[in-house]
Amino acid sequence: MPISPAEKIWHNGKLIPWNDAKIHIMSHVVNYGSSVFEGVRCYLQPGGPAIFRAAEHAQRLLDSAKIYRIEHKYSREDIVNAMVEVVGVNGIFPCYIRPLIFRGYGEVGVNPKGSPTEVYIANYSWGKYLGHGNPEEGVDVCISSWNRLAPNTMPAMAKAGANYMNSQLIKMEAIANGYVEGIGLDVNGYVSEGSGENLFLVKNGTIITAPLGCSVLPGITRDSVLKLAKDLGIPLVEQMIPREMLYIADEVFFSGTAAEITPINSVDRIVVGKGNAGPITRALQKDFYDIVHGKVADRYNWFTPVPVKQTVGV
């Protein structure tokens, strides 16, 4: 989906014109992939725009920076306030928000300590990531030949730009073979996650998802699904998942900020259940979308409102 430019981008505490957000070709991030980032959705609710789980996304951004030893001066509250500021000034919502922390132009070499830290936050219009608009529309996926990151190679709990080179391989291979998305296995051959989504399956009324130890990113929407399932009284366990469990599951679905809750119709051309969104997936979708679109009360205090004078939709 092409990026639609906005008016302003937040950079190191100041709003700058969109076209002025540039880096040098010799920046450390370009040469060595030294960035961490977030993807955050801002929804348009009846009372105006509101950012979904802004504090949790900001904390994961800072945690990722800490794991990679990227020093900066910003607190979680600073990042949340900056997201609110840039969404409000651009007047684009619903939208996707992209906070970035990376090592900029300073020195060349693997040692990053001589390069300054840059922090940017942009927002732009973005619709459905997987499928074509109907939330109940499922997607066809495959098991990738590319494994997810092994322990003690790169930290899977950090949302880092370099980690997503692995995700790109999974995604490109899936598309080249006629699928919408790929699923990566961990180093031991157990199910991990998609190229940019966490994964759940349903078997005999119980939701199963892989633990973080299977090279799983601690997804914010993943955590939301855990909470929704508990409130709906649906049993849920975190356990290692053999690949073949996906073939015999009653339901399989992705979760993620971009993917939200997306059903999976088939895995490796083996139909999942009846080949469409199952009852548990639909129940979770309904509860999730009712909350994010403001049809029911935000019982989890998930939303940070964005003060604006008028609302602008996509």
Residue 56: CB atoms within 10 Å: 18
CA angle 179, 182, 188 (to 5 degrees): 145
List own/partner pairs for 84-88 with CB under 8 A and 24 or more apart. Answer: 84/51, 84/54, 84/304, 84/306, 84/307, 85/10, 85/15, 86/6, 86/8, 86/9, 86/10, 86/15, 86/121, 86/122, 86/123, 87/42, 87/49, 87/51, 87/123, 87/306, 88/306, 88/307, 88/308
CB-side neighbour CA atoms (13 Å) of 221? 26
Name the token pair of 108.
């060349």
Name the token pair of 137.
């529309």
- Across the strands, what pairs with 127? none
How far apart CA 28 and CA 190 sit, in angstroms, is 34
Q: Which of 113, 128, 159, 203 is catalytic?
A: 159
Nearest to 182 by CA among 218, 265, 172, 253: 172
Residue pointed to by tokens 């929704």: 228
Length in residues, the chain: 314
Told to judge if 286 belongs to the known catalytic residues of this protein, a careful annotator would answer: no
Residue 137: CB atoms within 10 Å: 15
Catalytically active residues, by annotation: 159
